Amino acid sequence: MSDQPGRQRYLTVVEVAEIMRVSKMTVYRLLHSGEMPGVRVGRSFRVPADALEHYLATSIPPVAAADEADRRTS
C-alpha cells in the first residue's frame, strides 16, 4: 500500500500488537473497551494509524504513573 496524500492508513490487529509489543488479545481489549478507536470490517478490526499514534502519545505507562505518584508522596 502506498502512502498517498489524503488517504487514511489502517493497521491490522497483528500490526498494532507488533508496534506496541503486546499480545493481540491486549489490542482486542483496547478496541472492545473503546480506549483505542477501530473500524470493524466484516469479522476483523482495523485501526487507523493516526489513532494508534494518538493513543501512544497520550497514554501514560503504568510504571511512569507509579513513579510520578511516588515522587509526589516523597
Taking CA atoms, 4 is separated from 25, 35, 44, 45, 52, in Å, by: 31, 28, 24, 22, 19
CA–CA separation, 52 and 20 (whole Å)? 9
Which overall architecture, per CATH, does domain 10-73 show? Answer: Orthogonal Bundle (1.10)
Asked if pLDDT for residue 12 goes beyond 70, the answer is yes
CA–CA separation, 41 and 57 (whole Å)? 26
In tens, the pLDDT along 24-67 reads: 999 999 999 999 999 999 999 999 999 999 999 998 766 655 55
Q: Hey, what's the torsion of the CAs at 52, 17, 43, 37, to 10 degrees? A: -20
CA–CA separation, 50 and 5 (whole Å)? 14
Q: Where residue 6 falls among pLDDT bands split at 50, 70, 90? A: confident
Asked if pLDDT for residue 9 goes beyond 80, the answer is yes
